[in-house]
A and B are shown apart, each in its own frame.
Chain A
Amino acid sequence: MSRLRADAILKAVARGRGGVRVDHHKITAECETVRMPIPPRVVLPMQQHIGAPCVPTVKPGDHVDVGQVIGDSDKYLSVPIHASVSGTVKSVADTTLANGRIAPAVTIESDGQQTLYAGLEPPAVHTKEDLVKAIRASGLVGLGGAGFPSFVKLTVKPEKPIDTLIVNAAECEPYITVDYRECVENSYDILSGVYTLGELYGFKRIIIAVEDNKPEAIRILKGIADRDLHDGNVVRLMALKSRYPQGAEKMMVLSATGRVVPQGGLPADVGCIVMNVGSVAFVARYLKTGKPLISRSVTVSGDCIKEPANVRVPIGVSMREIIDFCGGFTAPPAKILSGGPMMGTAVVDPNVPLLKSNNAVLAFSEPAVRRKPNSDCIRCGRCHAACPMSLMPTEIEKYALLGDAVTLSRLGTSVCMECGSCAYSCPAGKPLVQYMRLAKEVMRNAGVK
């Protein structure tokens, strides 16, 4: 009873914290994940995560097998990159990524055999330290979109004890359904991952959080939570209000625990680890098979895609090939996105490789992504009301244009996570996220934090 009441209170708190109601468009929710045939070649950029880029460990002409390390770094904040197909390294050269950056990449010509690398075996994990080491070796980054190396999250510092694991299945971005499919199709992996992590870390609470617009996922995850046979029942399911950006890490921590992650901090600062549901399932699979992160599920959707679907693809396949696998376009698209419509990146050319952190490939016609005519701000305050971080976007815009880094810092610009709620709700059609980025650039250039 008290648990129920606490949930109700937390939900009320979450409601007061801005956000927007977006149309979900989860048209691929009931599409079972299909496996894409092995492409003739993959391009594996050396920067697929937040942190230091990898250095290629192979050279043109080398033969590589599936799961073999082809890039690694000796820096702390980095994870290795593995070959997603077996075959011959064709080149090691610069390539353009979806976000327009240029990074070195290893191109592998597939031999179609998908021979597994001989060195792959399930890691022996007995302690937290073993797990952190194994997860780094697996190349896992947050599969929800940001691409933060997962082993860093799982590293517990003695001065910051962790008591709560939050398994993030909110999936608040419209269109994307890969996390939902993970819940439906691989619930056993999720279960196994949750309990493995629970045993190693001894969490006081494990919260599986999902938005309340996915009743089927709630039903399945509830089954997982109720199967907890431990004393004190640490695993529980929390159905959160469907409100964008519920799945954002800081929002998730607030909604699930009522704790506020301090400015510039991480969930670990308030005793939480937040992991995407896909990442948790991957951990379970990796510990069983030893197969590193070489493929992932993506949602292919949007009104220009002939057969929207959830597809399991090898990392490094070009977005264009994924789209062609889904029947191609129904009409020439006006915009192609890597990621969701709220935070995803519009690509210049779909012939870019899919990265570990990409969870969707969306193609839209012009009317679907039409921009509002850009007019003057009427100070209606919708942007401020929608901001989950309680920022004042119009003020930040003003001082960004003035180049006033000190005031921008006072306004808390750095806590902006670019969720897009402000620009979404603006009746004057102002590109507020762009101004937020400009503001951060102004602060960076001025050396102000």
Chain B
Amino acid sequence: MMEDNRKLIVSASPHVKSVHTVRGVMLDVIIALIPAACAGVAVFGFRAAWLIALCVGSSVLFEYLARRVMRRPNTVGDLTAVITGMLLAFNLPVKTPEWICVIGAFVAIVVVKQFFGGVGQNFANPAITARIVLLVSFASVMTNFTSPVVGGADAVSAATPLSFLGRLHGAAADTTLSALLESGSLPALSQMFLGVRPGCIGETSALALLLGAAYLLIRRVIRITIPAAYIGAFALIMLLVSGFDLTYVAYELLSGGLLLGAFFMATDYTTSPINTLGKIVFGAGCGILTAVIRLYGSLPEGVSYSILLMNIACPLIERFTAPKYFGYIKQKKEKKAGDAA
């Protein structure tokens, strides 16, 4: 008989665990964001890479400092700050001054995330909220988009496809889609798909974003529910409004930050519902709000605002769409009958 005086571990079941860790999950998200980052650098030049690095660096630094000041355990290792930094950079025009990037990182990490208790506790998506704060604070800088530098072209100030599309509806409607296409104000659909168009660093290339999204779906990091509901609801409204003009809907889908928002920001774990019905309501809500803002709002783009608004509604959605657990018996009616008797 082998003698051992070591004590045995006694803990609650289960005694085996899956291989998933928070860091592993976050690493998958970072990997999924890399194609879009590469596309951003290819379209807008090396300044895009520099801004991504700056946002990531300052986000991680703020995360570290904030935890330090609040005397909380260090959480830089979970890599969530890296993702926030990347997403923040993806939502900025390439000409954004460095100090504005740093302010954005501060708002995202310190104000939105750490003030509310850190990872898993924030009620709004840090990167989106930071972008909105920057947008309302530095409106001219944040809407100063440049043309792509692909093929050695010079970066000049340029209007985004969305601002042209915005002129198609509302009281100020002054043009038609065919007129825009003829005048060459809008890039060709293939260029839109590849991302060769003015816009924020990480939002332009649908190809890269879809590659990353496919990776997340295959690795089961995210489910298709939210993006499908988001894009589905948005496309449906656009189809109805345009009288089933598929070209127009395609332009709407490929412009602005719709794909980035639907696959990478609306699916943020912390700020979206965990149950399937809740996910559908949340995604559809994002889609409807985005469509309404784009069609009737004074802003050309509505992705950030719609996701933020739905983030805030998330606890409510979760509450009202709570799934019926296995073997649930409706009790209220019986009770009321009993009370009356």
- The reply to whether chain A is a binding partner of chain B is yes
Contact partner, B20, options A342, A347, A382, Cβ 8 Å: A382
Q: What separation, in Å, do the CA atoms of A411 and B322 have in the docked complex?
A: 9
Query: B17, A372: Cβ atoms under 8 Å?
Result: yes
Question: 16 pairs across A/B with beta carbons < 8 Å?
Answer: A260-B327, A261-B327, A334-B6, A335-B8, A347-B8, A350-B8, A375-B78, A376-B119, A380-B269, A381-B274, A411-B322, A412-B326, A415-B327, A420-B13, A424-B17, A427-B25
If over half of B's interface residues share one DSSP class (helix, strand or loop), that class is named, otherwise mixed; here it is: loop
4 nearest CB pairs, A to B: A381-B274, A420-B14, A412-B325, A332-B4
Total CB contacts across the A-B interface at under 8 A: 163
B225 to chain A, nearest CB (A): 10
Query: A423, B14: Cβ atoms under 8 Å?
Result: yes
Query: B120, A378: Cβ atoms under 8 Å?
Result: yes
Q: What separation, in Å, do the CA atoms of A382 and B118 have in the docked complex?
A: 20
Asked if A146 lies at the interface with its beta carbon under 8 angstroms from chain B, I say: no
* A245-277 interface with B by 8 A CB criterion: 250, 260-265
Contact partner, B15, options A341, A373, A412, Cβ 8 Å: A341
Q: What separation, in Å, do the CA atoms of A344 and B11 have in the docked complex?
A: 10
Asked if B121 lies at the interface with its beta carbon under 8 angstroms from chain A, I say: yes
Query: B119, A378: Cβ atoms under 8 Å?
Result: yes
Which of B1, B12, B25, B322 counts the most A-chain CB atoms under 10 A from its CB? B12
B30 to chain A, nearest CB (A): 15
Query: B9, A174: Cβ atoms under 8 Å?
Result: no
Q: What separation, in Å, do the CA atoms of A421 and B325 have in the docked complex?
A: 15
Query: B14, A433: Cβ atoms under 8 Å?
Result: yes
Query: B18, A20: Cβ atoms under 8 Å?
Result: yes
Instruction: Point out the residues of chain B lying under 8 angstroms from A22, CB to CB.
Output: 16
* A368-390 interface with B by 8 A CB criterion: 368-369, 371-373, 375-382, 384-385, 388-390
Evaluate whether A348 and B325 lie within 8 angstroms (CB atoms) in the complex, with A328-B2, A376-B119, A433-B13 already known: no
* A1-28 interface with B by 8 A CB criterion: 17, 20, 22-23
Instruction: Point out the residues of chain A lying under 8 angstroms from B325, CB to CB.
Output: 263, 389-391, 411-412, 415
Asked if B329 lies at the interface with its beta carbon under 8 angstroms from chain A, I say: yes
Asked if A364 lies at the interface with its beta carbon under 8 angstroms from chain B, I say: yes
Query: A378, B25: Cβ atoms under 8 Å?
Result: yes
Query: A333, B120: Cβ atoms under 8 Å?
Result: no
* A151-201 interface with B by 8 A CB criterion: 174
Asked if B22 lies at the interface with its beta carbon under 8 angstroms from chain A, I say: yes
Query: A379, B269: Cβ atoms under 8 Å?
Result: yes
Asked if A434 lies at the interface with its beta carbon under 8 angstroms from chain B, I say: yes
Count the B residues whose beta carbon is within 8 Å of the partner chain — how many? 39
Query: A263, B329: Cβ atoms under 8 Å?
Result: yes
Contact partner, A412, options B6, B12, B24, B328, Cβ 8 Å: B328
B321 to chain A, nearest CB (A): 11
Query: A335, B15: Cβ atoms under 8 Å?
Result: yes
Q: What separation, in Å, do the CA atoms of A369 and B2 have in the docked complex?
A: 21
Closest to A269 in B: B327
Instruction: Point out the residues of chain B lying under 8 angstroms from A62, CB to CB.
Output: none
Q: What separation, in Å, do the CA atoms of A423 and B16 have in the docked complex?
A: 9
Closest to B80 in A: A378
Instruction: Point out the residues of chain B lying under 8 angstroms from A415, CB to CB.
Output: 325-327
Evaluate whether A390 and B326 lie within 8 angstroms (CB atoms) in the complex, with A380-B269, A433-B12 already known: yes
Query: B275, A392: Cβ atoms under 8 Å?
Result: yes
Query: A394, B274: Cβ atoms under 8 Å?
Result: yes
* B283-341 interface with A by 8 A CB criterion: 322-329
A144 to chain B, nearest CB (A): 16
Q: What separation, in Å, do the CA atoms of A329 and B4 have in the docked complex?
A: 10
Q: What separation, in Å, do the CA atoms of A372 and B25 have in the docked complex?
A: 14
Instruction: Point out the residues of chain A lying under 8 angstroms from B326, CB to CB.
Output: 17, 250, 260-261, 263, 388-391, 412, 415
* B9-39 interface with A by 8 A CB criterion: 9-18, 20-22, 24-25
Q: What separation, in Å, do the CA atoms of A23 and B22 have in the docked complex?
A: 21
Instruction: Point out the residues of chain A lying under 8 angstroms from B4, CB to CB.
Output: 329, 332-333
Q: How many A residues are at the interface, by size bracket?
A: 35 or more
A31 to chain B, nearest CB (A): 21
Instruction: Point out the residues of chain B lying under 8 angstroms from A371, CB to CB.
Output: 11, 17
Query: B14, A424: Cβ atoms under 8 Å?
Result: yes
Evaluate whether A390 and B323 lie within 8 angstroms (CB atoms) in the complex, with A378-B270, A434-B12 already known: yes
Instruction: Point out the residues of chain A lying under 8 angstroms from B9, CB to CB.
Output: 334-335, 346, 366, 369
A367 to chain B, nearest CB (A): 11
Q: What separation, in Å, do the CA atoms of A369 and B322 have in the docked complex?
A: 34
Evaluate whether A250 and B327 lie within 8 angstroms (CB atoms) in the complex, with A329-B2, A378-B22, A429-B17 already known: yes
Which of A334, A380, A418 counts the most B-chain CB atoms under 10 A from its CB? A380
Q: What separation, in Å, do the CA atoms of A384 and B78 have in the docked complex?
A: 22
Query: A425, B8: Cβ atoms under 8 Å?
Result: no
Evaluate whether A392 and B322 lie within 8 angstroms (CB atoms) in the complex, with A335-B9, A381-B275 already known: yes
B118 to chain A, nearest CB (A): 6
Contact partner, B10, options A23, A262, A346, Cβ 8 Å: A346
Instruction: Point out the residues of chain B lying under 8 angstroms from A216, CB to CB.
Output: none
Instruction: Point out the residues of chain B lying under 8 angstroms from A380, CB to CB.
Output: 25, 269, 274
Q: What separation, in Å, do the CA atoms of A55 and B241 have in the docked complex?
A: 79
Asked if A355 lies at the interface with its beta carbon under 8 angstroms from chain B, I say: no
Instruction: Point out the residues of chain A lying under 8 angstroms from B274, CB to CB.
Output: 379-381, 384-385, 392, 394
A21 to chain B, nearest CB (A): 9
Closest to B21 in A: A427
Query: B327, A423: Cβ atoms under 8 Å?
Result: no
Query: B120, A376: Cβ atoms under 8 Å?
Result: yes
Q: What separation, in Å, do the CA atoms of A255 and B210 have in the docked complex?
A: 36
Evaluate whether A337 and B328 lie within 8 angstroms (CB atoms) in the complex, with A324-B1, A377-B120 already known: no
Q: What separation, in Å, do the CA atoms of A250 and B327 have in the docked complex?
A: 9
Instruction: Point out the residues of chain B lying under 8 angstroms from A30, CB to CB.
Output: none
Instruction: Point out the residues of chain A lying under 8 angstroms from B17, CB to CB.
Output: 371-372, 423-424, 426, 429
Instruction: Point out the residues of chain B lying under 8 angstroms from A376, CB to CB.
Output: 75, 118-121
Query: A332, B270: Cβ atoms under 8 Å?
Result: no
Taking A343-B14, A346-B8 as known contacts, 18 extra A-B pairs with beta carbons closer than 8 A to each other, sorted by chain A number, are A261-B326, A332-B6, A334-B6, A335-B11, A341-B14, A347-B8, A347-B10, A376-B118, A376-B119, A381-B274, A384-B274, A384-B275, A390-B323, A390-B326, A392-B274, A412-B326, A423-B12, A427-B20
